[in-house]
Structure 1
Amino acid sequence: MSLYLILALMTAAAIFAVLLPLSRRPSDAAAGGQDVAVYRDQLDEIERDRKSGLIGKAEAEAAKVEISRRLLAAADLSGQAAPASASSPVWRRRMTALVALLLLPALSAGLYLRWGSPQLPGAPLAARLDAPAENRSIASMVAQVEAHLEKNPDDGQGWQVVAPVYMRMGRFNEAVRARANTIRLLGATAEREADLGEAQVAAANGVVTADAKASFERALKSDAGNTKAQYFSGLAAEQDGRPEEAARVWRAMLASAPPNAPFRPLLQRSLARVEPKGVEPVEPKAPQPGPTQEDMAAAQQLTPEQRQEMIRGMVDRLAERLKSDSSDFEGWLRLVRAYAVMGEKEKAKEAFLTARNTIGDDAEKRKRLDDLAKGLGIEG
């Protein structure tokens, strides 16, 4: 109803603007008749002043000429206006008023009925959200999920769905909340902890905060090979003023990454920030015994018991290989980390001591091994 009221008011204002000038009667004829009388009085006055000697004959003649000219003009105006005012203006005013009162509203209504949508009902938010997905924007779909989560705050799947969308939209604080709720409701995994840490870093404008660092540490404790958590742990070291440790983390990631890994360019750019100039980029080593990307993908399809057996077989093969080739320092690191993740602290400690004896006096390798043992809680 408010729309129709506004349209009616606009139409009334337009009609008023047209009719207002038509309500004024022309006064040209009356004005012309009055001017003629005034000019005649002025001529008589000039003649009286000349006879009484107030003005000279030349001045009187000049004034009469000017007033006579004005008198003739006024007389012409009065004579021409009278016939027109008698008929034409009244007829025209009435026709114009009729057009304004009847034809303008009718024309406006016809145009609206022809090209407008008078029968289209209003579209409230709920109706727009029920539209097919292909006809809706990302913002409307997010609004639908948010409305659902407001009524069902314990829907972990809903929080998990909306979290990455928040990240793409730049709503990082909401992404942190969504990912924290996902972990609370669906349980913690290495991937979810790493995703939470990533959102916390984004919300802090790229700074690896204490909360983010704790999230990445939990992810690495659950899965030491989590790529995202490894990268951000190196970034945390760089921001803490430990570029050597950051370079060590990123070099190890490059060494074990496949040649076509999508994150290799990021690692190389990051290494360029912390490594001295002239250091050659780390090239991928030959494949080492251990879980590959394909192995990890296949493991996701197994039952927990089958997955544990698969991991156990890979760890045993790595341990056997290190007995014959103890110079593979990266292999020792993987073996120590694998035993610790599997909960076999004694075997992890034994592998740690064997590795220390193998590397001898290499200070860099000793520091890396000691840092790993400290982080895993197996120092001895």
Structure 2
Amino acid sequence: MISLPLFAAFALMTAFAALAVLWPLSRVRATRAARDADLAVYRDQLAEIARDAKSGRLPKAEAEAARIEVARRMLAADAAREGAAAEDPGRAKWRRRAAAVFAMVFVPAFAAGLYGVLGNPAIPGAPLAERLAAVPDRSDVAILVRRVEEHLQKTPNDGQGYEILAPIYLRLGRPEDAARAYAEAIRILGPSAMRHSARGEALVVASDGLVTADAARAFADALALDPDEPRAAYFLGLAAEQDGRKEDAARIWGQLLARAPADAPFRPLVVAALARVGGAAPAAPAAAGPGPGAADVAAAASMSTDERNAMVRGMVARLAARLESEPNDIDGWLRLVRAYGVLGDRDKATEALKTARAAFKDNAEALGRLDAAEKELAPRAGSGDKG
């Protein structure tokens, strides 16, 4: 039920709205008085023109033109006054009353009926302050973003907060805010190829697909830290294409494809871009498998079972050690996860997936490949003996 104070407030608002409609309808007499005043002014102007013409201060031609103009305005005002006077007073009064009844009765009644159909007075109020204080629903992204923004206002040196917020800004269609958040993350946490590349992409989205000079510098900084960062290479090739340097674009994209794995998810996009500038895509390299090379297989043929297991575990340990210092190698992480799966080390495989996801938390393509590797791991990890 609607409380009495709220009902009184609604009634007062309705009265003010009706008054705003009815007030102009009650000003007929004021309008007529204004027209009579205009006619009096025009008569004074005609008398003044006649005096100036008689005294010679106003030439005859100019006096005649001024007299005609004032007479025209006078006739128009007089015609308007006659039209108002010719109106039936009773009929005009009836129209005003009908409009008043409609504004005072039918408009509120229609609003109440519409609220009865669409409204729900049982729903409690939800002020913004209470919604921010409550535990937000996961689907209420705006509240979550506001929470993080308020946290960053209090702790402006929380680089992780900026790094978490930046990709959310980008998905919400706020690329300028995403670029600023990535810049703050770089300032606080230090530069990395992933952060520079992500900031450059946000700048490209903000400029409607144009690789600006600022974005190109971000991509160049990313490649300086990691020459194999594919996103930076792709967008630098796009910058060359937009500048009309098709040969440079073909060279950049060709080099990117030459070092990209055969199953890299970005290969179709780069191949299409390369064809657009008239370049030929190099042959895709063979997909690297998790097992040892040909020389390792030949050496393992003469080993005992324990020796072979020791050799494989040594190779896996070296790969894990390398990934600690080079965590941006997604193919290396995939090989490590598969190797742990073959060895039956489910716990190590899970830990490797967790570490890899942390390293590629802003790369949707890499996360998708890690998810696929985890699905492959489930049946494989249970088939081996751990140890």
Query: Shorter-chain-normalised TM-score: which range?
Result: 0.3 to 0.5
TM-score by length of 1: 0.46
TM-score by length of 2: 0.45
Which has more radius of gyration?
1
